[in-house]
Chains A and B, each alone.
Chain A
């Protein structure tokens, strides 16, 4: 056997083994992502109760969606709840800057602020529901100490969304703090030294050295927070089981879940889930575009 054919049989063998190694994830992806996604596209054009076969109805679901006040309310609620994202990111950047100082106790603080991130969201939602209790909750008892008579947070249309935002910020802050901290520690020191030789003050150094160096992490956090925030469900399901007072805290995933599994309007629910998927995709794509353009403007 000549060397060339021997090598090509070896290559073929390697390819076969490699194919076996990647087979499981690829099959899993086809069966549990691609197929359901394609089926979603089909089912969104049908009326389907999950028991009998789907009946093709064209664009009826999407037309119904346009005039469904609950759909729009749920979309609005989901968007509103994302106010927590910039609040959380700013706070976690402050935390990371504080923990980046040379001082004692930073490891301890890092652990403490990270504990909510790893905690079960179901348990966290339960304990915050109790903390937001109007008469005996932790929040209102703390407010009473400074003479404020707190509302019944989760039963009030004006306060139910802020309450959930407060909880989400508390839960998620540690994660972005950790990523910011890692990024801060990888900023080369000589950049600061050069800046301070040029006479830049602390604030100028922050604006012209720190913030640009943190840009990739910020981008990553904004993208993943928006993808995650658009799918908020568990907190809503546990803290406000009926979608909140006057539907004020129902998120879009909560509404999809409700329509699909409580009302068995699978076709309609699927069409809403597809719209959600498309919006998430579009927003992410736009962010990637903007990010690329901004990077050019720095260079």
Chain B
């Protein structure tokens, strides 16, 4: 698969080929018309699908603005009247939502910032530097991706328990600081397309490897780093299994755990507006990041598949 495969609906590059025999004008018009009718049908179907995709999210937002009673109204109200915006004030004192956001930011921020530096330097070394058996080493790291997290989570937990880190954020942060093999893989692919001669020339000029990385490599792989950074950040932000193993006290929990315990606590009191407000707050940051960076995210994801 080519490097330039993107998802933007750009016209395919014109490949030299023998032109199709010209159809009689009437038949071509008929075909155009058929295609246009097809487009209308497809658009209608896609719109119906889009409604199904968005309905649960809209429903969440709508429920978060309702009174206790309006939640159980039949037929259901899509636009709550009156809209109870106070739910979004109430939610902050109803549980440790604020500390949840803070903890998630600490974990996701430190892991992705430090881990991205570690991953980029490693990708540079794997792609462009002399190191005996580096390809074997790289394949071993890659094979490690196949080990399911559940198969190592219990010994990992005991390791961190022995040094007294349970119920702190450290077990979520420390492993990530060492880098991320998915990111290394992706950046290495990207670097493989840069000619070695540029780097050799810089080496002869006496540049150090950190200088080569900063001046030559970084500018080229910046977009790839940015996209991978965003994807990783969203992944850590949305993580649940590792946090639920390590974090017990409410004030130490990450946002995802906080909303899950909102769900468990307030469902028994049927305070659904509060649960939905908390969930919506948890969804919002990632939704905003996605809307802003959607082109980079989508292209980067599409490329991962093409490489796979």
Q: What is the CB-to-nearest-CB distance from B1 to chain A, in angstroms, rounded to a whole number?
A: 6
From B9-17, B190-198, B219-227, the one touching the partner chain is B9-17
Please tell me if the beta carbons of A178 and B237 are within 8 angstroms of each other in the complex.
no
Residue-wise, chain B 41-60 has the 8 Å CB interface mask toward A (1 for contact) of 01101100110111111011
A155 within 8 A of B: no
Please tell me if the beta carbons of B147 and A37 are within 8 angstroms of each other in the complex.
yes
Beyond A22-B126, A120-B237, A241-B264, is A28–B175 a contact (Cβ under 8 Å)? yes
A277 within 8 A of B: yes
B84 within 8 A of A: no
Residue-wise, chain A 9-42 has the 8 Å CB interface mask toward B (1 for contact) of 0010011011101101111110111111101100
Beyond A109-B46, A120-B286, A183-B305, is A25–B181 a contact (Cβ under 8 Å)? yes
B294 within 8 A of A: yes
Please tell me if the beta carbons of B46 and A126 are within 8 angstroms of each other in the complex.
no
Residue of B with least CB distance to A253: B150
Please tell me if the beta carbons of B155 and A122 are within 8 angstroms of each other in the complex.
no
9 contacts between A and B (CB under 8 A): A33-B152, A37-B151, A104-B43, A113-B53, A119-B238, A126-B275, A130-B275, A186-B306, A276-B148
A129 within 8 A of B: yes
Q: What is the CB-to-nearest-CB distance from A230 to chain B, in angstroms, rounded to a whole number?
A: 7
Q: What is the CB-to-nearest-CB distance from A241 to chain B, in angstroms, rounded to a whole number?
A: 7
B94 within 8 A of A: no
Beyond A18-B134, A178-B302, is A127–B276 a contact (Cβ under 8 Å)? yes
A103 within 8 A of B: yes
Please tell me if the beta carbons of B153 and A273 are within 8 angstroms of each other in the complex.
yes
Please tell me if the beta carbons of A115 and B264 are within 8 angstroms of each other in the complex.
no
Q: What is the CB-to-nearest-CB distance from A261 to chain B, in angstroms, rounded to a whole number?
A: 6
Residue-wise, chain A 164-207 has the 8 Å CB interface mask toward B (1 for contact) of 00000010001100110111011011100100110000000000
Please give the residue numbers on chain A whose beta carbons come within 8 Å of chain B beta carbons, in ascending order: 11, 14-15, 17-19, 21-22, 24-29, 31-37, 39-40, 43, 50, 95, 98-99, 101-107, 109-116, 118-124, 126-131, 135-136, 138, 141, 170, 174-175, 178-179, 181-183, 185-186, 188-190, 193, 196-197, 216-217, 220-221, 224, 227, 230-231, 233-234, 237-238, 241, 253, 256-257, 260-261, 266, 269-270, 273-274, 276-277, 280-281, 284
Residue of A with least CB distance to B41: A98
Q: Chain B: interface secondary structure? A: helix
Residues of A within 8 A of B283 (CB): 119-120, 123
Q: A112-B50, A116-B53 are in contact. List 15 more A-B contacts (CB 8 A).
A: A18-B131, A22-B137, A29-B144, A102-B39, A103-B42, A120-B237, A123-B256, A127-B57, A217-B306, A230-B148, A231-B148, A237-B244, A238-B263, A253-B150, A261-B157
Residues of A within 8 A of B240 (CB): 121-122, 233-234, 237
Chain B: interface residue count, which band? 35 or more
Residues of A within 8 A of B177 (CB): 24, 28
B106 within 8 A of A: no
Q: What 9 A-B pairs come out closest when comparing CB atoms? A: A28-B178, A179-B305, A182-B302, A36-B152, A277-B151, A21-B125, A220-B308, A36-B155, A18-B129
Please give the residue numbers on chain B whose beta carbons come within 8 Å of chain A beta carbons, in ascending order: 1-2, 5-9, 12, 15, 17, 20, 35, 38-39, 42-43, 45-46, 49-50, 52-57, 59-60, 63, 71-72, 74-76, 118-119, 121-122, 124-126, 129-132, 134, 137, 140-141, 144, 146-159, 161, 175, 177-179, 181, 184, 209, 234, 237-238, 240-241, 244-245, 256-257, 259-260, 263-264, 272, 275-276, 279-280, 282-283, 286-287, 290-291, 294, 297-298, 301-306, 308
Please tell me if the beta carbons of B158 and A266 are within 8 angstroms of each other in the complex.
yes
Beyond A118-B290, A190-B17, is A25–B178 a contact (Cβ under 8 Å)? yes
Q: What is the CB-to-nearest-CB distance from A152 to chain B, in angstroms, rounded to a whole number?
A: 14
Please tell me if the beta carbons of A98 and B149 are within 8 angstroms of each other in the complex.
no
Residues of A within 8 A of B140 (CB): 29
Please tell me if the beta carbons of A40 and B151 are within 8 angstroms of each other in the complex.
yes
Residue of A with least CB distance to B60: A127
Please tell me if the beta carbons of A111 and B181 are within 8 angstroms of each other in the complex.
no
